[in-house]
Amino acid sequence: MAMKGNKYGIHRVIEPKGVLTQAAYKIDNDMTKRYSNEIICDVISLNIDSASFTQMEEACGHDPQKIGEMILGIVAERGKQQNPVTGSGGMFIGKVAYIGEDLADTCGLKVGDKIASLVSLSMTPLKIDKIKAIHMDIDRVDIEGQAVLFESGIYAKLPDDMSEALALAALDVAGAPAQARKLPKEGDSVLILGANGKSGVLCGYEAMKKVGPNGNVVGVVRNPAQVDALMELGVYHKVVVASATEPVAVLEAAIAANGGKEYDLSISCVNVENCEMSAILPVRDDGIVYFFSMATSFTKAALGAEGVGKDVTMIVGNGYTKNHAEITLNVLRENEKLRKLFDEKYL
């Protein structure tokens, strides 16, 4: 019988001892070690989180070969795909290769099932044997390799009614639209930064449903060429043009699009740094700011809100919300235009 590991994967931590795998610098990615409460998958693709991939692209001069070398170097050194600059990872899709006997009757899986991990690669033991392809436009890396899911790990079986690529693209940001359903009330005004990205459009759709006909959902994009296509999608009441790195410009455009009033909720889905104040400034006192972006500096957010006297509730973008996988996949099932967009963009 295989040895039992720690529920949270602490048995895989190499250094420093006493921390969880996300905080660890190096974890054990030896796939010949089989624990009774782990699942091991043959990985098909990694979906690198947007902030991490953007940073690696810029650092590597947009050269796919150099990005591949960087990823291989990170995984060789750390035993996981955790960007040393952003600290973030992504998620994977793969085929179940091993189920420990302690999980066999409770995990709802069998060997051969295709699943998407719903926990970050920044805490997931990963071994890469070969990088097969890098899809620069969609932050995806096809590999041959293996990854471990711990007993506490969450995952979703890939659905039968959509492609692997489509499901992966949606599940990668599943926490965001689930929160966009949960946080607003009917009649609220909602501002979404990074409105053109996949998390942005999914959030817009869920927020529109929740706020109803008396609410107002406004998207912010930097590129004016994106406005018409976003409005055609039907996921925003209005879309304004401003750079999320320029908070005063965002404030002015956003307030003008909301009848001169501040917002009840803002959601930051941007993938670049220094956008904290653009999410905070347009929100009323006692409003909510939800930072889904992994490029967020929570020091800048906290001190920035204090500095402008904003009494807002700021929420860390927890990638897990109850039923988030099903909520997100259902968005694509419900909205044909969104599904078509994802199909075209993420195949």
182-216 pLDDT per residue, tens? 999 999 999 999 999 989 999 999 999 999 999 99
Q: What is the pLDDT of residue 163?
A: 86
pLDDT computed for residue 323 by the predictor: 85
In Å, how far are 23, 204, 220, 288, 296 from 264, measured between CA atoms? 34, 15, 16, 6, 20
Residue percentage of the chain with pLDDT more than 90: 84
CA–CA gap between residue 285 and residue 309 (Å, rounded): 9
**Sheet strands (E) in the chain:** 13-15, 26-27, 39-48, 90-99, 114-117, 126-135, 140-149, 155-157, 189-193, 216-221, 238-241, 263-268, 283-291, 313-316
Tell me the per-residue pLDDT of 78-114, one tens digit each, with 9 for 90 and over: 999 999 999 999 999 999 999 999 999 999 999 999 9
Give me the pLDDT at residue 57, please.
96
Instruction: Please give the domain boundaries of the chain with CATH numbers for all domains.
Output: 10-158 (no CATH), 175-346 (3.90.180.10)
Q: How confident is the model at residue 318 (pLDDT cuts 50, 70, 90)?
A: confident
Q: With 80 as the cut, is the pLDDT of residue 346 above it?
A: no
Kindly report, residue by residue over 137-173, the tens digit of the pLDDT: 999 999 999 999 999 999 999 998 988 888 888 888 8
Distance CA 2, CA 13 (A): 18
* Mean predicted confidence (pLDDT) in 224-229: 95
Quote the mean pLDDT of the chain. 94
Q: What is the pLDDT of residues 21-63, one digit of tens each?
A: 999 999 999 999 999 999 999 999 999 998 899 999 999 999 9
Per cent of the chain over pLDDT 70 is: 100
- Tell me, what's the pLDDT at 165? 83
Q: What is the mean pLDDT of residues 297-308?
A: 95
pTM: 0.81
Is the pLDDT reported for residue 174 higher than 90? no
pLDDT in the model for residue 50: 87
Please report which confidence band the pLDDT of residue 347 belongs to, taking 50, 70 and 90 as the band edges: low
